[in-house]
Amino acid sequence: MEMTDHVELVVELPWKWNPPEVGWFKINVDGAIFSKQKCVGIGVLIRDELVRVEAALSKKVDAPLGAMEVEAKVLEAGLLFARDVGLQDVVLEGDLVNLINALCGTSSPPAAVEPTIMDVLDLCRQFRNLAFSHVHRKGNVPAHLLAKHVSNIADFISWIEENSYCIEQALIQDVLSFFRFQ
């Protein structure tokens, strides 16, 4: 694969989701911790500039990870999923600003997740164009719901060019808030 020729930080309004530029796809990621079950949930939602769902993923990881480790893992899972779907121009968006800053090179990653962040940066080379973006948790609700959805599944479930029923209402709210404030 060729080296990524476009890496940048995109600063969004902190409280709402915004679609990517024309021709790009936005990968929203989030995690959920299930302490009693000693597992975590990974949620990945990929949408285009017209707010259409390209792909979505709910994945269970049987490991008792902490919040920072989960958030680093979801960044990696989001890029792996986008690569597997065949996307080349993507914005990776999450709600933990210090990890997004570490990916952009504006700060060092926390020591506990440095190897995972290095793996994410290595994955970045497999995309033609890549940007990073931070969004407030309120703007990341569908990805969070996908992460919580793993309590209902054994391993993982993915949707290609369709919406998961568990995020329908949150997707509608994203669209309404985007168009309301244009």
Supply the CATH number for residue 144's domain.
Answer: 3.30.420.10
Domain count, the chain: 1
List, as one string, the DSSP characters of 27-40: EEEEEEEETTTTEE
Identity of the highest mean pLDDT range in 75-79, 136-140, 144-148, 151-155: 75-79
With respect to residue 181, please indicate whether it lies within any of the assigned structural domains: no
pLDDT given for residue 15 in this prediction:
66
pLDDT given for residue 1 in this prediction:
35
CB 117 within 8 A of CB 71: no
Looking at per-residue pLDDT, the higher value among 145 and 90 belongs to 90
Span 118-141, pLDDT tens digits: 999 999 999 999 999 999 888 888
> Domain containing 100: what range?
7-173
With respect to residue 182, please indicate whether it lies within any of the assigned structural domains: no
With respect to residue 168, please indicate whether it lies within any of the assigned structural domains: yes
Secondary structure of 108-165 in HEC code, one letter for each residue: CCCHHHHHHHHHHHHHHCCCCEEEEEECCHHHHHHHHHHHHHHHHCCCEEEEECCCCH
pLDDT band at 161 (very low <50, low <70, confident <90, very high): confident
